[in-house]
Amino acid sequence: MEQYCPPAHVLIFPFPAQGHVNSMLKLAELLGLAGIHVTFLNTDFIHERLVRYTDIKTRFSCYPGFQFMTISDGLSADHPRSLIKFIEVYDSLNSKTKLLLREMLASNQLIGSNTRPSLTCIIVDGLIGGFTSDIANEFRIPIIYFRTISASCYWAYFSVPKIIEAGEIPVRGNEDMDRLITTVPSMESFLRYRDLPSFCQVNDLNHCNLHIFVSETQQSPQAHALILNTFEDLEGPALSHIRTHCSKVYTIGPLHTHLKFRLEAKTSSSQSQSSNNLYEVDKSCMTWLDAQPLKSVIYVSFGSITTITKDKHMEFWFGLVNSKQRFLWVIRPDLVVGEHNRNEVPEELLKGTKERGYIVSWAPQEEVLAHHAIGGFLTHSGWNSTLESIVAGVPMICWPFIGDQQLNSRFVSEVWKLGLDMKDACDRFIVEKMVNDLMGRKREVFMKSTDEMAWLARKSVSEGGSSYCNLDRLVKDIRLMSM
């Protein structure tokens, strides 16, 4: 008699922030498509916003065995939960949520029921891998880490103990930010102090952010496997180094395109969009874009976390209007810190914006970047935005804000030659010049590399491509664990 083999059942647990939830939901949908049962665990706060702004309930109902569950993040109802308060969110998850997760597993709320198989493994966001691993080990459930950052940034975090040993951090007084960091293998010739992940740019080695990012990263080789949202042709050198420490590394990105292609293959339609927004999307910008000439618009967005002062906001605004280029700008209600009164905006800016600009509070970014009117992207270099721009073949101007973004922007300009790195500058004349360069005379310089990288990205997630095959291997690996 044939032995009964229960379907695999994976618990997916993201860090509660837009970029993390977005990419892990895409992974969840890909596993759902492969027939794996998925329990997706959101914090209550995130889940409430997802349900409010997207159609996730309908979208995921077509995957048998897919369920959403929620858990408290332990924070008070009026806590801003912004990543600026990262430490508070992280500490609360590590103390209060940890206990709740343990309780959920102990009381079989997640492990199994009459209709749902036991958990085969947990795929956890590597940023909260530490406490989840402790619990997974206690219940003898294999754990896989998913990191939402680039492989190169992951490798830089991994190399921090070496950087410290060599005395290259912390900062020694007012020294040159352009000093080369020579101790991250494969980045010796171009990584400057200012390109290190922002959490490494510290003058105190006991800084808690540095400690958290480094210790969470150092733990990952103990996991069963590591999943990265990248592709081999983009980050080969960093990946080879990571593989000397982690035996199983699955590169399955760019996830948004991977999912799109697999959905299209299944439904034979090219209309598949899987948006996972925590904000209300303003689609009116698509109609505005339809009326703009080919590659004439620069899209400006700083993602879901970045905040800027009023002064910096004005520098961007002057730079954009003075460039005389068309622009579509995402200004989240919480982008500008402090009181922001539109009546204070100079008349010339409002006039210039009315003539050539369009402002929304949240855009359907993947669709925007794919629109024929978009010719450039002024971005904060978040990893999702970077990948989305790469796939769309849109050159970038990078203005990194926090975390991995400093390193991503260096790779975009110096290694991949996909755009310009504005880095620490925020000045209307620089913004104007860079926008005009990118939309004008430098466009040709970048188009060859952006076209080529877009092609490689798509190839990786097409049948037979590296990310496509890696996802198949990951699915097989998970199924084997359930036997």
Which residues make up the interface to ligand UDP (CB under 6 A)?
18-19, 22, 277, 301, 303-305, 330, 362-363, 365-366, 382-385, 388
Q: Which of 20, 256, 371, 380 is catalytic?
A: 20
Minimal distance in Å, beta carbon 201 to ligand UDP? 17
Q: How many CA atoms lie within 13 A of 11 on its CB side?
A: 29
The smaller minimum CB distance to ligand UDP, of residues 19 and 319, is found at 19
Annotated active-site residue 125? The verdict is yes
Shortest spacing between CB 298 and ligand UDP, in angstroms:
14
3-state secondary structure of 378: strand
**CB closer to ligand UDP, 150 vs 322:** 150
332 three-state secondary structure: coil
Q: Which residues pair with 377 in a beta bridge?
A: 299, 396
Q: Name 373's bridge partners.
A: none
Measured distance CA(312)–CA(104) in Å, rounded = 45
The H or E element spanning position 152 is: helix 151-158
Determine which one of 9, 47, 73, 125 is catalytic: 125
Task: Using the Cα atoms of residue 378, residue 382, residue 385 and residue 386 in order, give the sign of their dihedral.
Answer: positive
- Smallest gap from Cβ 146 to ligand UDP, in A, equals 14
In angstroms, how far is the first alpha carbon of the chain from the final one?
16
Nearer to ligand UDP, 363 or 453 (CB): 363
Nearer to ligand UDP, 18 or 450 (CB): 18
- Residue 291 dihedral angles phi and psi, to the nearest 5°: -90, 5
Ramachandran class of 65: left when φ > 0, alpha when ψ lies in -120 to 50, beta otherwise:
left
* Residue 352, SS3 per DSSP: helix
326-330/357-360 β-pairing: parallel
Q: Between residues 101 and 368, which has the closer beta carbon with respect to ligand UDP?
A: 368
Report the length, in residues, of the chain.
483
Active site residue 20: yes
Check: CB of residue 51 under 8 Å from CB of residue 277. Answer: no
CB 381 within 8 A of CB 408: yes
Q: Minimum CB separation from ligand UDP for residue 10, in Å?
A: 22
Q: Which amino acid is at 28?
A: A
Least distance in angstroms from the C-beta of 320 to ligand UDP: 16
Please state the closest distance from residue 112 (CB atom) to ligand UDP, in A: 33
Q: Residue of minimal CB distance from ligand UDP?
A: 382
Residue carrying structure tokens 């990078």: 398
The backbone torsions φ and ψ at residue 25, rounded to the nearest 5 degrees and listed phi first, read: -70, -35
CB of 148 to ligand UDP, least distance (A): 7
The pair of three-digit structure tokens given for residue 104, joined into one six-digit string: 């959920």
CB nearer to ligand UDP: pick between 120 and 316: 316
Nearer to ligand UDP, 14 or 352 (CB): 14
Which two structure tokens, joined as six digits, stand for 399?
């203005």
| Residues classed as catalytic | 20, 125
